[in-house]
A and B are shown apart, each in its own frame.
Chain A
Amino acid sequence: MPITDPAPRPTAGVGIRARGLTKRYGSTTAVDDLTFTARPGVITGFLGPNGAGKSTAIRMLLGLARPTSGTITIGDRRMAELEDPARTIGALLDARAVHPHRTAYAHLLAFAQAAGLGRRRVEEVLELVGLDHAATRRVGEFSLGMHQRLGIGTALLGDPGVLVLDEPLNGLDPEGIRWMRTLMRDLAGEGRTILFSSHLMSEMELTADDLVVIGQGRLIAQASLRDFVRDNTSRDVLVRAASTVELARALERAGLTVAARTGADAETGAPAGAGAALLVTGADPSAVGHVAAAEGIALDELTAVRESLEDVFLRLTHDATDYGSHAA
């Protein structure tokens, strides 16, 4: 990341903090008493189904919508109180939100000038986001991926310490997604605060360090990705043996919970002649293996069964979603 101004960023080390953030539109509550933080130096994933209130919260952060109550601040300052907004916070809202007849260069120049920056910074940013070859093309001819690059370039113009990206991976091809991920990781590595929203858990698994999960405007969880996974994914073990009755008894004696017995069937892909299967919940494969070994029971299969993060997300947000089965 080329930095034009060698002076330290005034906002390095500043995070985002929401406290009791609430937004009501008539009788609809879009954001409901939301409290969370996004720390500097890490990527915070802002996760929730469509319509969960992510964009509304981000718009309140940027001063584009007024909270009904509560606050959302950059450090401890609201958007309107920032002395140098472009150098403090950059935002990518909707990548398509550009005038289609303006060139990429003119678009960036207008926002650079608003921040007191010149043409050199525009050229740096065009290069940074890989649009230098398309600088003089009208934005209306751009692909979605190019729009996203232009949007993130606009957000980076002032070299801000805080970046807010609303669904930045939406509609990107795999190469674009990898590019955006690497860029976010690099930017966070420089000590910036990155808050990026998505309605897809799968995008978070590979990108986020911290998670803020919301549903129907309410906070469902705030945790590091690792803790979130540990606390919310059930750990089950599928074990298969010739004598499941004996094994089940041994496992229960060892304090493990046997949830289900299934017959040998084609569905589980069990080899022919293998025994029936047991599902042991909340256990490590090694614990199950040790019990079997101690009892001298030969195992035909020992498999850790993990709920995918997508499943966890769907389960957690299911109750909090407006759309039922369309949650993801």
Chain B
Amino acid sequence: MNVLRSEWTKLRSVRSTWLTALSAVVSGAALGILGVSEVLGGTPSDLPTPWDPTATSLKGFLFAQLLVGMLGALSITPEYDTAMIGTSLSAVPSRARLLRAKALVVTAVGLATGAATTLLSFTVVQVALRGAGLPAAGPGDPGVAGALVGGTLYLTLVTLAGMAVGVLTRSTTTSLAVLVGALLLVPALGPGLPGALGDWFAGYWPVTAGQAAYTVVPVDGALTPSTGLAVLVLAVDAVVVAAYAALRVRDV
């Protein structure tokens, strides 16, 4: 409990935490609107098929996920960048206690940011679609509430993964590079690889798999929402365990 309070103080007392969280929420919604701007002027027959207004409204995750990932990374990398980690581990020598507290605080902030990003993106895009006379989704429609929870959990998991990447890389800039690679480049380029490898990246690359969590209308060849989320959970677990192992074994 003490270490939890300490980690919360560390996270809340730097402006970058709030700026990053706010940027995630705003950019998620703004990019969501930008994503549908093209169809807003058209008729329902111009819409792509199948039409999934829920998943479409969360297209802004493409950028927001990078910000929440950095939010997680920034919970630890400045400690390495400034060498404050030495003081932190002198005050709390147990790596398990320190990392558990950090992970809990980061998860809580990730959950709040993820929920805000998901709900705001969903709301503004559905309002815009409805205003344009296009088919929109309501929170009471079948599968929509589940997709919104899925979207929130997706961003929360990315935040936690960002923390683990921060521990592993011990550097803000390297964390950014790793997150851009894992969240943007691999999902974009991986499916283009030849044969089974490409298929694997298209379906099972954990980030891509996790994005199934916020679909309402099934996409051909993609995992179901719950399977996709499970793949992401397993992958994030693995990265967190690797981070803990590194923290334990490594000289600071």
Cβ-based interface call for B49 (8 A): no
Cβ-based interface call for B78 (8 A): yes
A139 → chain B closest CB, angstroms = 10
Contacts A99-B78, A110-B10, A113-B9 hold; do A154 and B87 have CB atoms under 8 A apart?
yes
Cβ-based interface call for B42 (8 A): no
CA distance in complex: A114, B101 (Å):
10
Cβ-based interface call for A102 (8 A): yes
Question: A110 to B13, Cβ gap below 8 A?
Answer: yes
Q: Which A residues are CB-close (under 8 A) to B84?
A: 97-99
Q: Which B residues are CB-close (under 8 A) to A65?
A: 251-252
User: Which chain A residue shows the least CB distance to B2?
Assistant: A116
Cβ-based interface call for B83 (8 A): yes
A111's partner among B6, B82, B86 (CB-CB below 8 A) is B6
Q: Tell me which of B90-98, B139-147, B183-191, B231-239 binds A.
A: B90-98
Cβ-based interface call for B3 (8 A): yes
Question: B90 to A99, Cβ gap below 8 A?
Answer: no
Cβ-based interface call for A93 (8 A): yes
The interface size bin for chain B is: 20 to 34
User: Which chain A residue shows the least CB distance to B12?
Assistant: A106
Cβ-based interface call for B37 (8 A): no
Q: Which A residues are CB-close (under 8 A) to B83?
A: 93-94, 96-97
CA distance in complex: A62, B93 (Å):
8
Within 8 A of A (CB), among B51-107: 78-79, 82-84, 86-94
Secondary structure of the B contact surface, majority rule: helix
Chain A 25-69, CB within 8 Å of chain B: the 1/0 string? 000000000000000000000000000000000010011111000
Q: Which A residues are CB-close (under 8 A) to B82?
A: 96-100
Question: B93 to A111, Cβ gap below 8 A?
Answer: no
Within 8 A of B (CB), among A63-96: 63-66, 79-80, 82, 85-86, 89-91, 93-94, 96
Cβ-based interface call for A109 (8 A): yes
A219 → chain B closest CB, angstroms = 22
Within 8 A of B (CB), among A166-199: none
A93 → chain B closest CB, angstroms = 5
Contacts A65-B251, A66-B251, A114-B3 hold; do A109 and B9 have CB atoms under 8 A apart?
yes
Question: A82 to B93, Cβ gap below 8 A?
Answer: yes
Q: Which B residues are CB-close (under 8 A) to A90?
A: 90
Question: B14 to A99, Cβ gap below 8 A?
Answer: yes
Q: Which A residues are CB-close (under 8 A) to B9?
A: 106, 109-110, 113
User: Which chain B residue shows the least CB distance to A111?
Assistant: B91
Question: B86 to A94, Cβ gap below 8 A?
Answer: yes
CA distance in complex: A111, B91 (Å):
7
The interface size bin for chain A is: 35 or more
Question: B91 to A85, Cβ gap below 8 A?
Answer: yes
B196 → chain A closest CB, angstroms = 41
CA distance in complex: A166, B79 (Å):
18
CA distance in complex: A103, B3 (Å):
19
Cβ-based interface call for B130 (8 A): no
Cβ-based interface call for A115 (8 A): yes
B132 → chain A closest CB, angstroms = 43
Q: Which B residues are CB-close (under 8 A) to A79?
A: 90, 93
Contacts A96-B82, A97-B82, A114-B2 hold; do A103 and B13 have CB atoms under 8 A apart?
yes
CA distance in complex: A112, B2 (Å):
9
Q: Which B residues are CB-close (under 8 A) to A249?
A: none
A80's partner among B2, B6, B93 (CB-CB below 8 A) is B93
A170 → chain B closest CB, angstroms = 15
B5 → chain A closest CB, angstroms = 4
B71 → chain A closest CB, angstroms = 15
A112 → chain B closest CB, angstroms = 8
User: Which chain B residue shows the least CB distance to A91?
Assistant: B90
CA distance in complex: A194, B177 (Å):
43
Q: Which A residues are CB-close (under 8 A) to B92?
A: 85, 114
CA distance in complex: A215, B195 (Å):
61
B252's partner among A64, A85, A89, A102 (CB-CB below 8 A) is A64
Chain A 114-147, CB within 8 Å of chain B: the 1/0 string? 1110000000000000000000000000000000
Contacts A80-B93, A86-B91 hold; do A62 and B6 have CB atoms under 8 A apart?
no
Question: A101 to B89, Cβ gap below 8 A?
Answer: no
B4 → chain A closest CB, angstroms = 9
CA distance in complex: A85, B5 (Å):
17
Question: A93 to B86, Cβ gap below 8 A?
Answer: yes
Question: A113 to B2, Cβ gap below 8 A?
Answer: yes
Contacts A80-B94, A112-B6 aside, 8 further interface pairs with beta carbons under 8 A come to A64-B86, A65-B252, A93-B90, A94-B83, A99-B78, A100-B82, A114-B2, A114-B91
B residues apposed to A, CB below 8 Å: 2-3, 5-7, 9-10, 13-16, 78-79, 82-84, 86-94, 251-252
Q: Can you sample 14 A-B contacts with CB below 8 Å?
A: A59-B251, A63-B90, A65-B251, A85-B91, A91-B86, A93-B83, A98-B82, A98-B84, A99-B79, A101-B14, A102-B10, A106-B9, A110-B10, A114-B92
Which 4 residue pairs across A and B have the least CB separation, nearest first? Answer: A106-B13, A114-B6, A97-B83, A113-B6
